[in-house]
Chain A
Amino acid sequence: MGKIQDTYKEEAEELLTDLEDAFLELENDPRSEELINRIFRAMHTIKGSGAMAGFDNIAAFTHEFETAFDRVRKGELSVTQELIEIGLASQSWIAEMLDSNDQQTALLKEQADELTVRLLQLMPDSAEKPNTEQGKQMAPEVAAEEHDEQIFRIRFKPNEDFFNFGSKPLALLRCLEEMGEYNVVAYTDALPSLESLHPLTSYLSWDVLLKTQKSRDDILDVFIFDEDDCELHVDVIDHGDEQEDDYKRIGEILVERGDISADELENLLPKAPKVGEILEAAGAVAKEKITSALVEQEVVKTDRQQKQKAVENIRVPAPKLEMQMNLVGELVIALASLNRIAASHADTQLINACEEMNHLITELRDNVLSIRMMQIGSTFSRFRRVVRDLAKDQGKNIELFTHGAETELDKTVIDQLGDPLVHLIRNSIDHGIEPPEERAEKGKPAEGKIILSAQHTQGQVVIKIEDNGRGIDPTKIRSKAIDKGVIEPDADISDKDALQLIFAPGFSTAEKITNISGRGVGMDVVKRTIEDLRGTIELDSIVNKGTTITLKLPLTLAIIEGLLTRVGDDVIAIPLSIIKECVEIRSKDLSKTKQGYSTKIRGTLMPCVSLREWAEISADKPDLVELIIVSVDNESFAFIVDEIIDQQQIVIKNLGAVYRSIDSISGATILGDGSVALIIDAFQILKRHLKSSGGDAAQNVA
């Protein structure tokens, strides 16, 4: 697949998401002109760009829908449930078509015909047969909204490597030519002599004057796949409503085009009276017209500035961001090495330079991380359709509420989060929310609710999926777990722990297997995926009240601020985001009971975990130890370490497959001297500690 096709797929996927949202919103607000226009525009772009990118099937298919929504816009066709159903089915069809192979394409074509026939039945005065040929021929300009005739200046300068991407300037110029009255001038200034000319390099650029009824957007659509590889300016230079003799002067045009600055022009014509003054004095042009021209110049200038702002957003391929992140990671490691050398030489100038570097690299790191941050809303929006369709299939009334769609997460995390969330939401629909009659018997409102929310807390993102369905009965889970051999019959586990058994491999409580869930292969995969993202998953449920699943995920998987500590000869890193404070105490002030270590900090008893014992390090204990007080899951406790080494950025490296089962280590990092330090997973250590000490709080973190 070529670059154009890839770009089209990317663009189309975004448009399809928007289209789906618009259809779902239209269902609740069928008279919204804004939504109808949004659907029309999305269909129009999918069709037009599809034709240009060689997706003729999609172009032909979408043409009928665009026509239908054009009629809706004109008030000739009403928005009905059937129209929305067909629209959503079409959206799915296009999405499948984008990824289909030849075999699937044949089947999809049949589906397309069925959908088109259904659509045409809604438009009784339309042709009975799908007009696929018409759609095939669609270029982006065809069937576009017609405007009053305007003259556009299109300044098109391909980058030198333009040809390398398979782009063809003449094809673009041909599209423009087909849009109206076309005049072109080629700029050949950059064209070298034949001997120096590289045949695969682009040297030419063009100004096209196009008199057309098409809109600026229609013109930009022509360049939709090439706009990143060229300089492109599309400006209206004549709106078509001026007087015949009210055209711009050469000087104005040249200034307007940026070919000469106004100052340069003034300098070259130092003694001449201003043209406007001559014309005004001669009575050739009225003063108002000169004023109008000046206003026009100002409007065009402002308009250009705004357009300039609009192109400040650029599309960057994800692998480039990955590469950028990796390089920043390497830079952080190299800086740690440099810091170590500087410290060992006790050279103030070198140390100061390193500090400056440290600030800059921290800024660079934060900047790169922020580029990778995406709003989770794009993932949330997928679920509206899932909930709608599945609820309908099962005859349930379910409404999805979302909160915190603007919450940002690293792209890598978001990419991998979609499937687990789909599974959890499907479970809520299938097993959680009861059918209306069952809800009525329980005195619940007929409409079930699923609430999907996200928020930042303590350097993490917490995502919750809550429903007000039938909940999960821990007794039933326990019994099922015994039947399946997951736990021993005499196992003494709390209700909270019993609920977590749902994440065990092969565990399913569904009494009948549906095509949605209940195969028992999902929840363990969900848990593993979340844990692979260095996150946690918890389940709370109250019978007949509902279920809440809480996911806690790190903001990023790449680089964090960490505190390097020493225990014996080993260096252990603790994420700075969970650290509340550090306190130095004498070893003898630590008390040890069967529940573990503890000490009093400002009169409050603080449970402590010895990282020496956790890591089974046998070196001598120092007289003075450091307590690293952390807050995890609303619990405060302290890690006991020998010494604090430094605070620094740490690049998280995954442990190999062999060590992945060690749940209390979340990764490792490379230090400045090339040695490796483990990064602890405080949540897992606390969980393990509370379990082994039999603490009541264990119930809260199990």
Chain B
Amino acid sequence: MSDPSVILKEHSEQTEIILQGELELESAEQLKSALVHALDLAQPIQINVASVEDCHISSLQLLASLMKHRTSSSPLCQLEGDSEAFLRAVNLSGLGHILYGEQNEASDSVTPIASATNGESDG
């Protein structure tokens, strides 16, 4: 039996979600459950993506939804230990500014248009 691609770990002060291996479409259901459960625990969420080998967009859009819809009362959410495959997926998808924040985009050569167009002349 292969290792699960989504692992939820409840620590005393934070909740850790470990994503690993190939995050296929089927993994998105597990990831959603894990994220919803983690939110219910109302403590900081650390999502470790260091061992991601491939990532379907369905998982990225779940993470993007989590980050996009967070409010001041939401638990702190943070991505940790980026793998090359995960960063590549993030940069291809153009979701870096949502997953990592506007000022802290995924470190890769791809430049999101959003930042490139800032400061253009109007008209």
Chain B nearest Cβ from A205, distance in angstroms: 10
Asked if residues A252 and B93 are in contact (CB atoms below 8 Å), the reply is no
Partner of A249, one of B55, B113, B116, B123: B123
What are the interface flags for B25-43 relative to A under an 8 Å C-beta threshold, 1 for contact and 0 otherwise?
A: 1001101100110010000
Interface residues on A, range: 20 to 34
Chain A nearest Cβ from B4, distance in angstroms: 16
Asked whether A200 is an interface residue with its Cβ less than 8 Å from the other chain, the reply is: yes
Chain A residues whose CB sits within 8 angstroms of the CB of B111 once the complex forms: 183
Asked whether B69 is an interface residue with its Cβ less than 8 Å from the other chain, the reply is: yes
A170-B55, A183-B112 are contacts. A197–B95 as well, Cβ < 8 Å? no
Asked if residues B57 and A193 are in contact (CB atoms below 8 Å), the reply is no
Chain A residues whose CB sits within 8 angstroms of the CB of B28 once the complex forms: 199-200
Asked if residues A168 and B110 are in contact (CB atoms below 8 Å), the reply is no
Asked if residues A194 and B122 are in contact (CB atoms below 8 Å), the reply is no
Asked if residues B110 and A183 are in contact (CB atoms below 8 Å), the reply is yes
Chain B residues whose CB sits within 8 angstroms of the CB of A184 once the complex forms: 91-94, 110, 112-113
Docked Cα-Cα span, A174 to B92, in Å, equals 7
Chain B residues whose CB sits within 8 angstroms of the CB of A250 once the complex forms: 117, 120-123
Asked if residues B112 and A185 are in contact (CB atoms below 8 Å), the reply is yes
Asked whether A270 is an interface residue with its Cβ less than 8 Å from the other chain, the reply is: no
Docked Cα-Cα span, A599 to B121, in Å, equals 92
CB nearest to B24 among chain A residues: A168
Chain A residues whose CB sits within 8 angstroms of the CB of B29 once the complex forms: 199-200
Chain B residues whose CB sits within 8 angstroms of the CB of A191 once the complex forms: 61, 64-65, 68-69
Asked if residues A194 and B62 are in contact (CB atoms below 8 Å), the reply is yes
Asked whether A209 is an interface residue with its Cβ less than 8 Å from the other chain, the reply is: yes
Q: How many residues of B contact A (CB 8 A)?
A: 37
A192-B65, A251-B122 are contacts. A186–B93 as well, Cβ < 8 Å? yes
Asked whether A562 is an interface residue with its Cβ less than 8 Å from the other chain, the reply is: no
Chain A nearest Cβ from B47, distance in angstroms: 13
What are the interface flags for B42-78 relative to A under an 8 Å C-beta threshold, 1 for contact and 0 otherwise?
A: 0000000000000111100110111011000000000
Partner of B68, one of A169, A183, A188, A275: A188
Asked whether A504 is an interface residue with its Cβ less than 8 Å from the other chain, the reply is: no
Chain B residues whose CB sits within 8 angstroms of the CB of A193 once the complex forms: 65, 69
Docked Cα-Cα span, A183 to B36, in Å, equals 32
Asked whether A93 is an interface residue with its Cβ less than 8 Å from the other chain, the reply is: no
Docked Cα-Cα span, A163 to B89, in Å, equals 16
Number of A-B residue pairs with CB-CB distance less than 8 Å in the complex they form = 103
Asked if residues B61 and A275 are in contact (CB atoms below 8 Å), the reply is no
CB nearest to B63 among chain A residues: A194
CB nearest to B96 among chain A residues: A186
Chain A residues whose CB sits within 8 angstroms of the CB of B120 once the complex forms: 249-250
Asked whether A69 is an interface residue with its Cβ less than 8 Å from the other chain, the reply is: no
Asked if residues B58 and A199 are in contact (CB atoms below 8 Å), the reply is yes
Chain A nearest Cβ from B44, distance in angstroms: 16
Partner of A200, one of B25, B89, B91, B110: B25
Asked if residues A199 and B68 are in contact (CB atoms below 8 Å), the reply is no
Asked if residues B65 and A194 are in contact (CB atoms below 8 Å), the reply is yes
Asked if residues B56 and A170 are in contact (CB atoms below 8 Å), the reply is yes
Docked Cα-Cα span, A463 to B41, in Å, equals 76
CB nearest to A249 among chain B residues: B123
Asked whether A207 is an interface residue with its Cβ less than 8 Å from the other chain, the reply is: yes
Chain A nearest Cβ from B103, distance in angstroms: 17
Asked if residues B113 and A182 are in contact (CB atoms below 8 Å), the reply is no
Asked if residues B61 and A200 are in contact (CB atoms below 8 Å), the reply is no
Asked if residues B123 and A194 are in contact (CB atoms below 8 Å), the reply is no
A168-B57, A170-B56, A191-B64 are contacts. A251–B123 as well, Cβ < 8 Å? yes
Chain A nearest Cβ from B119, distance in angstroms: 10
Chain A nearest Cβ from B99, distance in angstroms: 10
| 12 pairs, A vs B, C-beta closer than 8 Å | A170-B56, A173-B92, A174-B92, A182-B110, A184-B93, A186-B64, A193-B65, A199-B28, A200-B58, A249-B121, A250-B121, A275-B122
Sorted from nearest, which 10 A-B pairs have the closest CB atoms?
A: A199-B28, A249-B123, A275-B123, A186-B94, A184-B94, A185-B113, A251-B123, A193-B69, A173-B92, A169-B57
Query: Given A200-B29, A275-B122, 7 other A-B contacts at CB below 8 A?
Result: A169-B57, A183-B116, A188-B98, A197-B61, A197-B65, A199-B28, A209-B113
